[in-house]
Structures are given as C-alpha cells and as structure tokens.
Structure 1
Amino acid sequence: MCARPKKSAFFRAAALSLCLALAGLQATQTASAREIVDMSGQKLTVPDDIRSVYAMTHAMPLLVALAPDLMAGFAMPVAPRPDVFRFLRPEMAKLPNLGGGPNVNLEKLKDVGVQVALGWTSPSEQFPAKKYTRIDIPVVNIEVDKLALYPASFRFLGTLFHREARGEELARGLEETVAAAKAATQDIPDAEKPKIYYAESVDGLVSQCDTSDRSEVITLAGGINALHCTGPVSMKDNYPIDIEKLLTVDPDVIVTRFPQTAKTIQADPRWAGLKAVKTGRVYAVPGYPFNWFDRPPSFMRAMGARWLAAKLHPERCAFDLRGETKKFYTLFFGVTPTDADLDLLFAQ
C-alpha cells in the first residue's frame, strides 16, 4: 500500500501544475497574435487567425471582394437596398447592417465578436479609430484614396488574412482593368476631351473639384472636370455650385451619382440651357453593388472609367461593356450578373 503524500507536497505539485497550465495558455495566446505595420505606418497587434472583421465604409468594398466570409456586417448609414444583393453572394443578404461612420454601434460590434476593424489612411478620416480602443478592437488602416493604390491594398489584406493568392488575383485583375482604360484614352488630345460636370448630390448642385481624388474617373476616361479649383482639395471636400455658374461652365456632359438626379436635370427648365442637356448627354453612374464613381470610393472606379470612356469616346473605346462587366463581377464578387441584372445596372 502506497503512503499518502504529505499535504505540503500535494499543494506544491498542484501549484506547479497550475503554473505550467497558465504558462501554456500564455504561450498559446502569444502565438495566436502578431504584430503588423498597417498602410498608414502604425504598429499594432492583431489576432493571427482573424475570423470577424468590421470594415468601415470606405474599406468595406475591399473586404466584400477579398474575404466576404469574414464580414461581421455592412457599414452603411442605412441598410443596403434589396437590388444590391443581386450582385453579391447570396449569403451576404443575411448580414446585419452595423452602421457606418458616427452611426456605428460599438457595443454591437463587441456582441457580434468583431476582432479587427478596417479603416483608411487619410489623416482627416482616422478620427474614428480612437473610439475602437475603448472596446479593444485594433483598427488597421489601408489605402482607399487613389485608384492606383488599390492593388497594394488588396495585396496587404491578402497577407493580413492569410489569403495571399486571392489578394494577388484581385490586385492583378484590377491592374489589368485600369491598364485597359488608360490604353483607350491616354493619347486623346486635350482639345478632344469633353468637359464633364459630376452632379454628386440629389439636387445636382454639389460636385467635386478637378483636384479631388473622387473625380479621377473623369480624367481616366478621357474627360476634363468642368470645375477647376485652386489649392488643395481633400477627398471628402464637396463643392457647392449654382445654376448661374453652371451656365458659365456649360459642360459637354453631365454625370450624376443618383438615377433620379439625371431625370430631374433633364426635366427641369433651369438646366435646359446647358449644352449637355440640349444634346441629351446626361448619364447616371451605375451603382450596384457599389457606385462606379464614389460614395463609397472603391475599386469600382476602374469600371466607372471604362463605362464613361465608352460614353465620351465611342469611336476609340469600342468594347463589350456588358461582357467585361460580367467578367469583372465574377472575379471580384463571385457572382456572374444575368442579362436582366445588367439591364438594371445600366438603366440607372
């Protein structure tokens, strides 16, 4: 019969076992996290195995394309319209809308288990990050301002989520689309480039200056922004304008963010004196699942440039827009639009 160990020896053994267990847990936790440097240059610690992400409004389209299964929910001021889901994977219709910008519910982010938030590098747009520190969610900033930076953002996110192949596939697909747009318009003389007015607001009287990244689609498509501004203009700056000034600018083409704006402009007698209205060159930008111009700004600007170039220079940009759109959506959203979907997209 074995002798029972002394009580002190028993507790020493138990304490040793507990210490070893805690040390193992600590080692596991350390191994499951990693330090990174995001695209704004900040160092931060993130989980190695990221499974739930909240992408702020401008970062959201990249996550939808690269890792939709990691999305905790949409980041939009209001819930997405039903037609949006015709262009996204079916399972995405089940995601909640967590709100965007100041409307985000931080407690809800905690409740749904968000591990990482995606923000962006623009200095004036990084203020929301301070809020997330209160709920211990690291904010990883990526580039979303200029279209040329999006391939790097896709590659960065591919590394962050251990999906390097997918990140590279999207980066290359976007580079090819942008290259095709540039090739079609890069040799157009300035004298042949039409003046474009971008009607961003519902009433059509808010726009973006030619120095704003939000209007870069116009340049890439072989046009000239009708609103020339002096001095620095940030991506978020809006430019109010009145009918009198518009008559002075007299654009060749008007592009509207909202479909109803195009209809209003064509029916409103105040706009009737403009060259663009007289010639019937008022076009609404395609907007599913994300706008092809901006709000949110995204890689969809590549398709926006191809679409607008075909409107501005049909003799130079003769290509199968519907076919190219199907290919682009299949690659980026995992859904091939039907002809009916494309009719909806281009009828806006």
Structure 2
Amino acid sequence: MSAQNDALSSYAQAVQTVAERLRAHPGPVVVLSHENPDGDALGSVLGLARALRALGREVFVPMEVPRYLRFLVQEGEVIPALAEWPRGALAAVLDVDNNDPTRVAGADLAAFDGPVVNIDHHGTNRRRATALLVDPSVPATAMLVADVVDALGAPWSEQVATPLMLGLNTDTGSFRFDSVTPRTFETAARLLAHGARLGWINDNLNQNPRSYYLLLREVLDTMEFLYGGRVVLARVDGAMLARAGSTWEDVESYVNLLRGAEGAVLAVMVKDYGDRVKLSLRSRGGVSAQNVAVALGGGGHVPAAGASLPGPYAEARQQLEAAIAAELHRAGLEGAGTGALAE
C-alpha cells in the first residue's frame, strides 16, 4: 500500500508541476502533438488549448487535422505549421515523446530552445522535458490532460470536456480494450458531468465518405491470413487510392477492422508509399504489437503500435515477417504454422 501511495503522490506532484509551469509562463503556449494525429492527439491538444484560452492565455495550435476528425475543430482554432517560433513561447507536447522531434508535427522542435512541457502515456517515452507528466498505465493522454485542467483551475465547459472525451473514447476503442481501468471510467464520468458529448462524438466518427467503402473493397482483396489465421495482414498503395478516389486518411481505421477477424492475435495494415512503408499494428491475446513495432524501429503501446520502414514493400515485408515470427515465438505461438490459409 505504501508503494501505491508513493506512486499516487508522485503522480499528483507531476500534475501540479506541469500545471504550475503552464500557468506561470508569461508568453504564448504552442500546443503540439504527433504527425497524422489520432483522436487522442487532437482531443488532448484541443482540450488543453481551450482550457488555457479560457484563462486568457495566448495559444497556438499548429496542426493538420485529418478529415474524419474535423467535426471537432472550430473556425480558426488550428493553424498551419509554424515557420518560426513565437517570441517567448513555451512548447506543450502532448501524446508523443518530445525527444523525438521527427514525430512532433506543426513546428520544428529541434530548433526550439525554450521550455518544454511533455504530457504523454507511451511507455517508450524517454522522460526528458522542463516539466513532465508521463503515465503509461493510463489508456489515453486525454486522461492526463483532464487532471492538468483541474490543477490549472481552468473553468470546465462542454468545449473543454468533449475533445478530452474524444481522446479517451478513441484510444480505448470505445472503452472495449483491456487498457480500460476503473480510473478510466471515473475520468469519463467527470467529463460527462462537465458536458462532454459522447453520443455526438460516436455519431460523427461512424460517418464515412463513399470513397472509404470503395477503397475498403480493394483493401479486403489484399487480405492474407498467416500463421494459421493468427496474423491478418492487408495492404494499400497509391494506385488503389486513385481508383477509389480516396486519400490516405480513409485507411486509418482499417486495421481495427482486421483485428476483428476471429482467431487473430495480430493485425497489420500496410501503407505502401512506394519508396517507404508505414505499418499500423493491433494485437491481443498476449501478443505485443509494441514489440513488433520496436523491432522495426517504431513504437507505441502493447495492443496498438506502428512503424515506418524505408525502401520498397518487398524489402519491408521480409523485415516485418522476421519481427512477427520473433514475437509469436516469444508468446509461445510459433507452432501455429506459417503461410496463408486456404480459402
């Protein structure tokens, strides 16, 4: 119990330190997250930015928001990537390790010499910042931001609570993943009490353009069932997008569809850009998507991770297969056999 109390005390202190740094900074705050932002990245950024603005602070949010999340963004709330940093700025980096500037989008963090606040829930975070709040035990960065908003003393409103609910909802798979804890529901209840529009969020997330379904038809034709059906893989390339009149944004949710295949413990969605390959990974049943991603130079969480590989797909496929085989062996599933299942 003492260790648990110490952990809670340490967490509370980190929340207060981050909030005090944000509250005391006299200049503008630039709120950033990772490239290709997901619901947790956008929700965390908007939740914190709106809370700071409610306190009268000058806030910049440079972000390219994907189509499927634009329903949450208000007119003029986000701006294009910064060409230069505002004088006297503080950088608040959310849902990504600030020590990996190649993944931080919206501004050149490597060229920034001012204070940095980092709020994140990835276990691979290297924990280096002026003020730091990192907790891999929580399923979404939005949960951490909610505690920071409380510590800031910012006024709660539907406009602050709803984006944080988006982050919590999306990173837990609508509260279906094993990462969900009693604390997750406690945070969700707080956000609902502050007016978060959960039903509205889900209704908007479930709407897809025609191109999404035209592309999905092509993607399903590429599906492979490997290792006795324990691994499900599909691929998309630029030619498929052109035929469907689609964009890369339409691909984002396909990996979760693959994960739903009965008997699958690992789902892999391959984005084939020609000169490079990007992988989205989802896992269950003791298999770690994170281990596969890390072996390929990427990162993420145990059930959800990703990696990017240079070169053509044929080369990346060999590396991917080696990483998958190693992880299945570690999980005691190497006896499942290899190769695609017969129809």
TM-score, structure 1 normalization: 0.38
Give the TM-score normalised by structure 2.
0.38
Higher RCO structure (Cα 8 Å, ≥6 apart): 1
- Of Structure 1 and Structure 2, the greater strand share is in 2
Between Structure 1 and Structure 2, whose CA radius of gyration is higher?
1
